[in-house]
Structure 1
Amino acid sequence: MTTPTVAPTQERPAGNPWLVLVTLCLGFFMILLDTTIVNIAIPDMSTSLDASLDQILWIINAYVLVYAVLLITAGRLGDIFGPKRLFVIGLVVFTAASAACGLAGSPEQLIVFRVVQGVGGALLTPQTLATITVIFPPDKRGVAFGVWGSVAGVATIAGPTLGGYLVTDFGWEWIFFVNVPVGVLTVVLALVAMPDLRLNRRHRLDWTGTALATIGLFLLVYGLIEGESHDWGEVWGPITIVEVIGAGVLVLAVFMVHQYVTRSGEPLVPFTIFKDRNFAVMSWISAAIAFGMLGLFLPLVIYLQSVLGLTALQAGLAVAPLSLVSMVIAPFAGRLADRAAGKWVLTFGLVLWCAGMATVVALADVGTGQWGLLPGLLIAGAGLGCVFAPLQTIAMRDVPPRQAGAASGLINTTRQLGGVIGSAAVGALLQAQLATKLTAAARANAADLPPDVRQPFVDAVAGATGGSLHIGAGQSGAALPAGVPEQYRQALTDIAARTFHEGFTNAMKTTLLLPLIVLAVAAVSCLLVRSRRADPTPPADRLAEAPAEV
């Protein structure tokens, strides 16, 4: 078999690949931003659209669900039709769906348009890594991945800040309308600047594998998202959440067997990718990072608003230093990863990130001010900035250009699944901890109440711990017991707020140990990474595989 080369139909920009990188990052930023920005708009959307809690949850999760299940398929479609074509199509779909979301007049309409947004995001995302891998030579990929990685980190953290500003000053619709001008600009840049990268090899889509992967991932992700709201019990008639997740795992197992059996053809997941130990290890670490990022972020945002009483915008600004430091450090970390052993940069970043978030947990208290967590956030931001570039450089270093799309889809899928599992696991653990910590705080604070009110107060707090979590300021714990004399109502209100603040803070501190442990295991896993080998490919052959001029 001859070595695959890039077709000579490339539309080369007059400039250099850095303009392509800017284009890719603009699109990628929009996609990731929509995974977090909607949370801040929940109260305003609920009132404006008269949406129930269940509808609000689907407005948030419909996007993540569709996005996660389509990533692998979208990566292979990029291999077949070219990353430029899929990137532009994804941008157009996402931008149009964003405009439709802002114009939605009912919860049902908004849920449907969020599904379409997820389709556009899934088509777009794998093409970013695939394109960077092909157009940048190995000695310059680290800096490119550093810029790409800083965008990923900033988008995840910036959602509440930007969303809080837009909701406060313009209304919830503008968290979607803001995507329209950015999307139009990015489409124009993509059409002008992106090369039409094509391999001289015919690809086909594995329809059976696509169906199995989509069904399996849907069942798994659906079960994880809906588990908490259904108390991990029945969800479809007699069918339970555990059975849905089990079915998803079973279908995915069948999918992997099918991929192995058809490995001599062109399966959706090329098993040869996982022969590269670095790619396999980085896939796990990518999932662990997403687990830690979203797992740490969820309780922290609730704490800032519900315990410290910050507004949505103030809470977003409080965590902004983490993303700013990460954004500044990431390109330098990428260059260092090019010149030194990338695995040590990655290990250092994960250790520093763990240390910073452990500092945040230690500093968090009921009386902590808006900037009281700043030292820990700065340390965590420095660590996060050292993570993304070496991770992508190590993962994609030895991936053949013809498999770049599939590899990109795989690593993005593992990241999304890590985030979904992190949110579900941390949310479930937080609920369990709240049941214990809030009740304990209620018993301790009930001593300040008259004897005849103490037990009803404790019972009211204990009964409130099974409800769904909300992101928003002003939460003050359980409703007051019925029949409370008027002279006790103010004292009960004050003690209920104190109980919630103390109970939630203690529950959060215990809960955040889980993502910290996962990140610590990821740091240790970096020791499995193989050191960089000298590239034996002659320069002429390397240019034939990845002919970009940088």
Structure 2
Amino acid sequence: MTGTTFSRTAAPIPEKQAWRALAALCIGLFVTLLDQSLVAVSLPRIAEELDASINQVVWVSAVYLLTFAVPLLITGRLGDRFGQRNVYLVGMAVFTLGALACSLAPTIEWLILLRAVQGLGGSLINPQPLSIIHRIFAHDRRGAATGVWSAVASSAGLFGPVLGGVLVGTVGWRWVFFVYVPLGVLSLVMVARNVPRLPTGTSRIDLLSGLVSLIAVLGVVFSLQQGPEVGWSWWLWVVLGVGVLAFLLFIRLQRTAGRRGTEALVPLGLFGHRNFALGAFAVFTLGFTVYSVNLPIMLYLQVGQGLPSEVAGLMLVPMGVISVFMAPVVGRITDRVPPGRISRIGFTAMIAAMTLFGVFMHLELSAWWILLPVVALGFANSMCWAPNSTISMRDLPGALVGAGSGVYNTSRQVGAVVGAAALGAVMQMGEGTLSFGAAMGNALLLPVVLLLAGLVAVSRFRGDGGDGGESAGR
């Protein structure tokens, strides 16, 4: 694989300093990913107090994911040009102020609008840390660093349902958003003090491609999201068609970026690196699954099984505990063995977990049965995320690391947006025609198809030995 000379050079700062910087960045990661599980617990109460439909409640989550995902290609390049540290700080300020405004939202419409602002802040934050990690850690320490990164992400899954359940059950859903404010301020202070200023590039940002990518994702997601509510009217198919055409135009714009005197948002040379191309697709399937399952699970436990929000949140604790303790161990292992081997185990476990969720909900089994797939999902999370990011990113040449980070994060978040929209559509189509458990179960069976494709992708990583690829463990 080309470009490995850069990847294998020594870290530009002492390792002790790199770990302090990682700790500061992890606060921001925790805050932005806490949203996925924290807000999901509050949605049934939000629907009740703000008199919102299921579609509007889905949009409280979906619009955050949408404004988070769509600008990632641009926000990743903003980090390259103006400094990852600077863009991160601006993003955290926007995210924190957006959360404060959400806590004061008077109507469901205002809440959806303000969630879009909060998502934009998250989009500015998200691409920067992965680029920083791969610039400040030596090649043979990146697996350990991404293992810690994954453990913090998993801890958000642990604390989110518990904290959300307690807040909603005691002081109300508005505190679910207000709790971000002190965490956001802490993140701003820690990153300003501990993250180094790294050299920046002078690349131009292709705003035309960014606009076209926005139209493409909006067209597809809006169509999936609104289809069940408006009965798949003809105009919605036009919107979907516009989204697909915009996607094709986006690809053409990337091919012609050089002739237009700019740099591609998605350098097509990235996909000449086999492991990156496979990993980007695999993380799309992970995003589709993991970031969209909390809503149907919480609705099933609270509405279908009648559990209080506090108890429903506690039901997801085993998933977070397992992920937190296993992720650092798995991260260290990825520095020593081909990560694709670990990824295959993780994807298989995740397929099993989603299948069990779907079957148990169809059978409308007691809520306690849900603990089985919850445990399986915790195991799967720890085995999927760190190995996938490590093998996808660590051998990219230096000139492509920033762009690769943006594309990798975009793949994950676009998967999350499409997943939220698709699962929301399945839930709405099942409402009124199927039992509540069956409607939620169908939504959780949908990701299995994507995960099977993801399993095929990680099974084709080079460096797993015997295929002539570069050894991932060296």
Distance in 1 separating the partners of 2:366 and 2:12: 54
Equivalent AA in structure 1 for residue 451 of structure 2: L
Residue in 1 aligned with 2:176?
175
What is the count of residue pairs matched by the alignment?
459
Provide the residue aligned with 1:245 in structure 2.
Answer: 240
Instruction: Give the direction of change, closer, same or farther, for the CA distance of 1:131–1:359 in structure 2 (3 Å limit).
Output: same
User: What is the aligned-residue identity percentage?
Assistant: 37
Aligned match of 1:471: none
Distance 1:384 1:49 in 2: 34
**Corresponding position of 2:148:** 147
Q: Is 1:301 matched with 2:238?
A: no
Equivalent in 254, 258, 272 of residue 259 of structure 1:
254
Q: Is the contact made by 1:224 and 1:420 (CA closer than 8 Å) also made in structure 2?
A: no
Give runs of aligned pairs for residues 90-239 of structure 1, distance below 5 A.
90-156=91-157, 158-199=159-200, 201-233=201-233, 239=235
Is 1:419 paired with 2:429? no
| Shift in Å, 1:206 | 1.2
The Cα of 1:338 is off from its aligned counterpart by: 0.9
- In structure 2, how many angstroms separate the alpha carbons of the residues matched to 1:47 and 1:376? 28
In structure 2, the residue matched to 1:493 is none
**How far apart, CA to CA, are the structure 1 residues paired with 2:96 and 2:395?**
34
2: CA distance, partners of 1:251 / 1:520: 28
Q: Which amino acid aligns with 1:244?
A: V
1:526 counterpart (437, 444, 458): 458
Letter matched to residue 396 of structure 1: M
Q: Give the 3 Å change call, closer, same or farther, for CA 206–413 of structure 1 in structure 2.
A: same
TM-score, length-scaled by structure 1:
0.76
Q: Distance in 2 between matches of 1:341 and 1:293?
A: 24
Alpha-carbon separation, structure 1, partners of 2:282 and 2:137: 23
Partners of 2:238 and 2:18 in 1: CA distance: 48
In the TM superposition, what is the alpha-carbon distance from 1:254 to its structure 2 partner? 0.7
Shift of residue 318, structure 1, vs aligned partner: 1.0
Which amino acid in 1 is paired with 2:141? K
Aligned partners of 1:187, 1:511: CA distance in 2, in Å?
37
Note if contact 2:105-2:111 (Cα within 8 Å) is conserved in structure 1: yes
Answer yes or no: is the 8 Å Cα contact 1:289–1:519 preserved in 2: yes
Deviation of 1:350 (Å): 1.1
SS of the aligned residue for 2:315 comes to helix
What residue is the counterpart of 1:23 in the other structure? 24
- Which ranges of structure 2 fall in alignment gaps of 5 or more residues? 464-468
Structure 1 residue 295: deviation in Å? Answer: 5.0
- SS of the aligned residue for 2:352 comes to helix
Matched letter for residue 61 of structure 1: A
Aligned pair 1:515/2:452, yes or no? no
Return the offset for 1:227.
Answer: 2.6
Cα gap change, 1:188 to 1:14, in 2 (>3 Å): farther
Distance 2:422 2:383 in 1: 26
1:79–1:403 Cα contact (<8 Å) kept: no
Following superposition, the deviation at residue 109 of structure 1 comes to: 3.7
The amino acid across from 1:67 in the alignment is F
Contact 2:462 2:471 in 1 (8 A): no
Which whole-Å deviations, capped at 9, do the CAs of 1:458-515 have from their partners, x for residues lacking one? Answer: xxxxxx33xxxxxxxxxxxxxxxxxxxxxxxxxxxxxxxxxx7xx3334555554332
Change (3 A) 1:36 1:296: closer
Q: One-letter code of the match for 1:301?
A: M
Letter in 1 for 2:410: T
Asked if 1:86 is matched to 2:23, the reply is no
Measured on the aligned residues, the alpha-carbon RMSD in Å equals: 2.9
Q: After superposition, what is the alpha-carbon deviation per residue over 1:45-92, rounded to whole angstroms, capped at 9, x for unaligned?
A: 455556666654544333222111111110011111110011111011
CA shift in 2, pair 1:506/1:94, >3 Å: closer
Matched, 1:385 2:382: yes
User: 1:413 Cα deviation (Å)?
Assistant: 1.4
In the other structure, the counterpart of 2:466 is none
1:111–1:4 Cα change, 3 Å: farther
Number of the residue aligned with 1:445: none
C-alpha separation in 2, matches of 1:295 and 1:176 = 19
CA positional deviation for 1:11 = 11
Task: Flag the structure with larger Rg.
Answer: 1
Q: TM-score, normalised by structure 2?
A: 0.88
Structure 1 stretches lacking a partner, 5+ long: 436-463, 466-499, 538-550
| 8 Å contact kept, 2:278–2:460 | yes
CA distance in 1, matches of 2:52, 2:341: 49
Which residue of 2 is the match for residue 504 of structure 1?
Answer: 436
Aligned to 1:329, the other structure's residue is in SS state helix
- Shift in CA distance, 84/337, structure 1 to aligned 2, threshold 3 Å: same
Contact kept, 8 Å, 2:287 with 2:412, in 1: the verdict is yes
Aligned pair partner of 2:326 in 303, 324, 329? 329
Q: Secondary structure at the match of 2:126?
A: helix
> What SS does structure 2 have at the residue aligned with 1:371?
helix
| Distance in 2, Cα, partners of 1:424 & 1:110 | 18
Residues 35/300 of structure 1: CA separation in 2 closer, same or farther (3 Å cut): closer
- SS of 1:197's equivalent in the other structure is coil
Displacement of 1:133 after TM fit? 1.1
Alignment of 1:29-68 (within 5 A): 29-46=30-47, 48-49=49-50, 56-68=57-69
Provide Cα deviations, 1:329-354, integer angstroms capped at 9, x if missing partner: 11111111110111101111111222
CA offset digits 1:348-402 (Å, max 9, x no partner): 1111222344344455576744433333322332122111110000110122334
Query: Against the structure 1 CA distance between its residues 340 and 392, is the aligned structure 2 distance closer, same or farther, given a 3 Å change threshold?
Result: same
Cα separation, 2, equivalents of 1:100 and 1:425: 28
